[in-house]
């Protein structure tokens, strides 16, 4: 019985550690990506963004998403891929007004996605 | 991740309550919480396996949550008797010295047909073969058998005020004979809880709220 109690407590502690770790990790990753998007957004607003700026954000996201796949359903991650690719394409074509719209959507997704997986009453039910 | 854990716990508790409310007829050979775990684990293991868009970690966390809940329920069972009763239920004495306890049957969502079937599975072919019969918490049937067992199969002729015409014909009893028999017992059909007849014409007769009687009837078909 002592062994069972130890296993149970260990499982609870491991889960708690994982939950806290994942929460911190996800928030950090999305904050960093949000920061990079903000910079790109400002550059697009000033119409100074170029192809390299877009691809820098894309490569940052590619690096982050490979780890985020462990914690977030892959379909949610692919939405970011689609919108980011569209924004990069529009920046490449210098369609800044249209790119701004895409970046707005991306910022909204980035803001809401981690929230959808945090422990909140509305997410539980 | 914590969200998956909490959601799993909610589903687990809901299933457990529902299984307890469904009574013993739905359980089979397991304790209610074991049954719920079997039910949930199979599904939890399948979803991340089959759907590649869901991270495997979601399935692992949910299964670990089930393990933790199982351990907690098991420990509570050991330490607090009322919890064991609430989670696993308790045995129900459905046949006592007065005969069938209709209230106990109903509270476990069972009818007389289910009881007779359980008895046959346990090797008793007449209601009169046992002193006491009970459904254990896991839904299995146990009985304290009488020294002498009936050598003939009993069939249900009246089940809570309703005549089983097929069985009546099988026994070779006319409706008029049954009416006459009931008249002798000073009973109306609606008052009868159970009446079975075996191949030797031996009748197990119990009126609602009364003790059972062993009687004889002129059954023409012997089997």
Shortest Cα distance, chain A CAs vs residue B57, angstroms: 7
More confident residue, B52 or B223: B52
pLDDT at B28: 59
| Position B94 pLDDT exceeds 70 | yes
Going by their DSSP bridges, the two strands B202-207 and B130-135 should be labelled as unpaired
CATH 3.40.50.2020 holds for B92-216:
no
Q: What is the ipTM of this complex?
A: 0.75
Q: Are the C-beta atoms of residues B198 and B85 closer than 8 Å to each other?
A: no
- Mean pLDDT along residues B112-131: 91
CA-based nearest residue in chain A for residue B1? A19
Residues in chain A predicted with pLDDT less than 50, given as ranges, are none
DSSP notation for B114-182: HHHHHHHHTT--SGGGEEEEEE-TTS-EEEEE-SS--SS-EEEEEETTEE-HHHHHHHT--HHHHHHHH
Q: In the A/B pair of chains, how many CB contacts fall below 8 A? A: 59
Whether A109 is covered by a domain: the verdict is: yes
Least confident of A54-58, B27-31, B190-194: B27-31
CA atoms within 13 A on the CB side of B4: 25
| Number of domains comprising chain A | 1
N- to C-terminal Cα distance for chain B? 65
Residue A9, domain member (yes or no): no
Residue A7 forms part of a structural domain: no
Given CB atoms, is B61 within the 8 Å cutoff of chain A?
yes
pTM recorded for the entire structure? 0.66
Q: Write out the residue range of the structural domain in which residue A81 sits.
A: 24-124
The domain limits of chain B are 2-88, 92-216
Contacts 24+ apart (CB under 8 A), B116-124: B116/B154, B116/B156, B116/B196, B119/B143, B124/B149
Residue closest to B53 by CA, chosen among A62, A110, A69, A81: A69
A75 contacts B53? CB cut-off 8 A: yes
Chain B contact set for A3 (CB, 8 A): none
* B218 vs B126, higher pLDDT: B126
Neighbours of B2 (CB within 10 A): 20
Average pLDDT over residues B177-187: 89
pLDDT at B143 over 90: yes
Domain annotation covers residue A14: no
Chain-centroid distance of CA B40 in Å reads 23
* Residue A13 in domain: no
């Amino acid at each position: 019985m002592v062994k069972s109690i130890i296993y149970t407590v260990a499982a609870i502690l491991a889960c708690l550690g994982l939950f806290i770790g994942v929460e911190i990790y996800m928030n950090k990753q999305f904050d960093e990506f949000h920061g990079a998007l903000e910079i790109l957004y400002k550059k697009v607003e000033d119409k100074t963004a170029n192809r390299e700026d877009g691809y820098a954000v894309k490569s940052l996201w590619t690096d982050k998403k490979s780890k985020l796949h462990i914690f977030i359903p892959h379909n949610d991650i692919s939405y970011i891929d689609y919108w980011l690719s569209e924004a990069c394409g529009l920046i490449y074509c210098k369609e800044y007004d249209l790119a701004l719209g895409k970046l707005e959507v991306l910022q909204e997704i980035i803001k809401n996605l981690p929230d959808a997986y945090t422990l909140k009453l509305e997410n539980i039910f | 991740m914590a969200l998956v854990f909490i959601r799993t716990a909610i589903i687990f508790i809901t299933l457990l309550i529902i299984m307890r409310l469904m009574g013993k007829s739905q359980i089979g050979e397991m304790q209610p919480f074991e049954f719920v775990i079997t039910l949930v684990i199979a599904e939890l293991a399948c979803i991340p396996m089959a759907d590649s868009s869901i991270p495997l970690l979601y399935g692992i966390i949910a299964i670990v949550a089930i393990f933790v809940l199982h351990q907690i329920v098991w420990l509570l069972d050991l330490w607090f008797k009322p919890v064991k009763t609430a989670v696993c239920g308790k045995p129900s004495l459905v046949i006592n010295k007065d005969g069938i306890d209709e209230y106990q049957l109903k509270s476990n969502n069972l009818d007389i047909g289910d009881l007779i079937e359980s008895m046959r599975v346990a090797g008793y072919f007449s209601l009169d073969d046992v002193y006491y019969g009970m459904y254990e918490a896991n839904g299995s049937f146990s009985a304290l058998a009488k020294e002498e067992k009936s050598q003939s199969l009993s069939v249900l002729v009246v089940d809570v005020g309703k005549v089983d015409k097929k069985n009546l014909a099988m026994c070779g009893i006319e409706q008029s004979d049954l009416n006459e028999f009931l008249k002798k017992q000073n009973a109306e059909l609606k008052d009868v809880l159970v009446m079975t007849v075996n191949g030797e014409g031996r009748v197990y007769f119990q009126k609602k709220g009364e003790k059972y009687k062993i009687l004889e009837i002129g059954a023409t078909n012997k089997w």
